Amino acid sequence: MIEEHSHKSTGLRGVEVADTNICLIEGEKGNLFIRGYDINELARNSTYEEVVYLLLYGNLPSFDQLESFKNAIISNQDLPPQLISHLQKTSKNTPSMSVLQSSLALLAGYNNEIGTGKRESDRNIAIRIIARLPIIVTAWERIRSNKEPIAPNKNLKYASNFLYMLHGSIPTDEEARIFDVTLILHAEHSFNASTFTARVIASTGADLYASISGAIGSLSGMYHGGANHLVYESLMEIKKVSSAEEWVKNRFNEGKRIMGMGHAVYKTTDPRAKILKEMAADLVRRKGGLAQWMYETTNKLVEITQKEFKKRKNRGIYPNVDLYGATVYTSLNIPVELFTPIFTTSRVAGWTAHVLEEKYPETPTVKPVIYRPSAEYVGRYCGPLGCEYQPISQRSTQSAAGELVKRLVTDELTKVFDDHLIPVSLSARHIHLSKADFHKLFGEKAVLTPLNSLTQPKQYACKEVVDLIGPKRAIYGVRILGPFRDETQVEISRSDGYVLGINPPTRQSGDLRDTPGVHIIGPKGAITLDKGVIFAARHIHMSPKDAQRLNVSDRQIVAVQFPGTRAGILDEIMVRIHPDYNLELHLDLDEGNALALNTGEMGSLILDLKEGSYSPFR
């Protein structure tokens, strides 16, 4: 029996990869601190420029330091005319995040401080990037809307300037302040996906432009920065408050996420979501209209989602920073296509701070080291000499089964099995669970979720997967096949046995005599089998009609011959006959690889083998 095993962490969650002085998240308490300062204090009392200074320099600025810093941003705002020309020639169908990512990379060609290896030079580059990103975002939005870009107003603050360049009019102090707070809230959030991307790139010695361009690509993903966009789309789908409950339940039934709800780190409401909700409520009181509808629908969305999640998962789920941002941005007349680019405009402050920390550690004894995690190989294994390489001229571009279908259409053949041809089905590792073991692994209320039907009637692959832990190593994501069996059975290949460190016998399905066990891990529990692991024996399924045509009987031992560059014969194949069976030869993946076979290719049935006339694969 296996006493110990290890798990790979999905998405590196819970894995500490570095020390940082920049950000602290207390997920259980719902707290967020930037350089030691509570996000609530910064949102109430600070400005985005102050928070950027805090991130880049480690301390809040004095009045003179802040004025000097603002001037540095203003002096670096102008874009090269060549970049504006490039934007004007770019297809207007190009996603804004792709334009932002590529434009930033191009700006590297207009900076003579790249590659100096000095912290101060890279900090100057960081300031230049922070200054220019909002110019690119607003210029592209106007260009793709067939409007002329608006140059920055040197007399306006960062947040005001963005809204001015976007709309062409100077915002009210109230609008500017609201937008400024949204920038503060999105400025930094520790080792999220995009920040980690930036640090990984920086660890290779790449410059800030490369690192931040990579981070932008990461943020563009729907499960990261793109979530705020999807919150808006969700509200548009719901259309009215009274439809929220039906919409939420349908999402749960379809196994889809509710965007804006739940977080990888927070186990309670995201502190930034609380602040955004307060701002949204204030905007609703003053503006009404669309903002009021979005706010009320969002509140209903939260109520129903939490109720359904508790009922279905028996745990809580809470709003994250994306949820109320849609209402706030819409109230400021910001188009939905800019939600994620604005996120970028804010988060670039945190990204650049992290890149500087990665390249120039504040602890003198720490030296920058390139990130290089490891992975465990669980793929195809053909033995210590590797798989046989087949020249491209000899590789099949169409399976024999596909060729037969083509012949059926073109030649109107009526009997494709007249030459005793048997279609092949290669069997990957899988597990048949008893109902009792399934509930131990997935919980008492769990049910099998069919993913797709298999060739044989009444059999199906399931959505659920488990992990197998052997004495040597583990194999992850093993598919469950339905329906339930009386006894749990695990079918693996010889390669899998090598990986796990076990050597089960070759058996027909259901014959578990003298078989080894394995440790099985599910999302809700684990079991240890004392027996039940087999190498599946070769066998042919067929109906009584096929058996009569091919002149074979149940449990008869036959052989099948295969053509091609690895021509050979597989013997000791047992015939199994049942009215529900479709004609099919079931082979282990390793045997299929040995003969260069794919599922659907054909072999010829041989009933009478003469000794010495074949080369069996055993």
Report, as residue numbers or ranges, the catalytic residues: 263, 322
In terms of Cβ atoms closer than 10 Å to its own Cβ (0-12, 13-18, 19+), residue 154 is: exposed
Instruction: Please give the helix or strand (H or E) that residue 56 lies within, else none.
Output: helix 48-57
CA 151 to chain centre: 38
Between vectors from CA 467 to CA 463 and to CA 469, what angle results, nearest 5°?
A: 165
Beta bridge partners of 462: 450
Task: Of 590, 578, 225, give the one whose Cα is nearest residue 387.
Answer: 590
The answer to whether 569 and 562 have CB atoms below 8 angstroms apart is yes
- Integer Cα distance of 273 and 328 in angstroms: 11
- Integer Cα distance of 618 and 507 in angstroms: 13
DSSP state of 206: -
DSSP state of 502: -
Write the CA distances from 614 to 530, 552, 559, 602, integer angstroms. Answer: 38, 21, 10, 18
596: left (phi over 0), alpha (psi -120 to 50) or beta: left
Residue 216's contacts (CB-CB under 8 Å, 6 or more residues apart) are: 97, 100, 101, 104, 194, 344
The answer to whether 60 and 54 have CB atoms below 8 angstroms apart is yes
Report whether the peptide linkage leading into residue 483 is cis, meaning its omega lies within 30 degrees of zero. Answer: yes
The answer to whether 197 and 12 have CB atoms below 8 angstroms apart is no
- Integer Cα distance of 293 and 296 in angstroms: 5
First to last CA, the chain: 29
Residue 331 sits at φ, ψ, to 5 deg, of: -65, -25
- Integer Cα distance of 394 and 413 in angstroms: 27
- Helix residue spans in 288-414 (DSSP H): 289-313, 322-331, 339-359, 400-411
3-state secondary structure 216-262: HHHHCCCCCCCHHHHHHHHHHHHCCHHHHHHHHHHHHHCCCCCCCEC
Instruction: Please give the helix or strand (H or E) that residue 469 lies within, else none.
Output: strand 460-469
DSSP reduced 3-state for 412: coil
Task: Of 581, 575, 538, 583, give the one whose Cα is nearest residue 553.
Answer: 575
The answer to whether 481 and 459 have CB atoms below 8 angstroms apart is yes
- Integer Cα distance of 591 and 587 in angstroms: 6
Task: Of 44, 48, 138, 113, give the one whose Cα is nearest residue 348.
Answer: 48
